[in-house]
Structure 1
Amino acid sequence: MDEVAAAIADPVRREILLMLRGERLSAGQIAGRFEISRPAVSRHLRVLREAGLVADRADGRRRVYELVTAPLDELSGWIERLTRPSGWEHHLDALETEVHRTRRERRSTTTAPDQSQEKSA
């Protein structure tokens, strides 16, 4: 998980992953979309490949890259555990609802006119 997190920490590598989300691209096609040098893009691709986030294959003289999402599953699960509400939040929300309901009931019984006095008046 640490290697995957380190790989996606760089904005260029995140952009490469987004580019590969819907299609396979050659290294040249990827490099052509950036203003950085081709060797720099190659280094980013190597980091992504070593993290298991992209796979490459030879297509003639070109290397074609495709996205591999499986390594993101562990990181995604960790993020979900981090951001998912805990069980306590649900219980505290229920407690807050009950407190408000009880206060409303108390106000309605203390502010409502006594109906027996209204009939005799």
Structure 2
Amino acid sequence: MRAGKFCPVCEAPVKGRSDKRFCSTKCKSMHQYETRQKKEAFYIKVDRQLKINRKVLKGFNKKGLSTLRKSDLYKEGFDPNFFTHYWKNKKGNVYLFVYEYGFLDLSKDGKDKYLLVTWQEYMNK
């Protein structure tokens, strides 16, 4: 071991090969995790919100088609700004989807609601 070589995570002496950077696999794993959290913070945030949105839509849309107050979804952590794709019907309505679960804004006459749907095969056309 060369003098002055210490683990960047726990500051313990590093023993072994001359190019070894960490004292243990635990410290190496912790370093990689922390680095990923910093470098991919935006991706992790978006991915987490997409998972939350999918879970909420799936929970409220058991039958494949339902209408629900927006506030009920928001209470569960739903954020309509995060979606994976959209589908536009012949009437021009744009349904936003989080994977296979979709929602359509039905805000009219002061009623804030969403129409919840499930992706159908005919939507592929």
TM > 0.5:
no
Q: Which has the higher helix share?
A: 1
TM-score (norm 1): 0.35
Q: Which has the higher strand share?
A: 2
Query: Which structure has the larger Rg over C-alpha atoms?
Result: 1
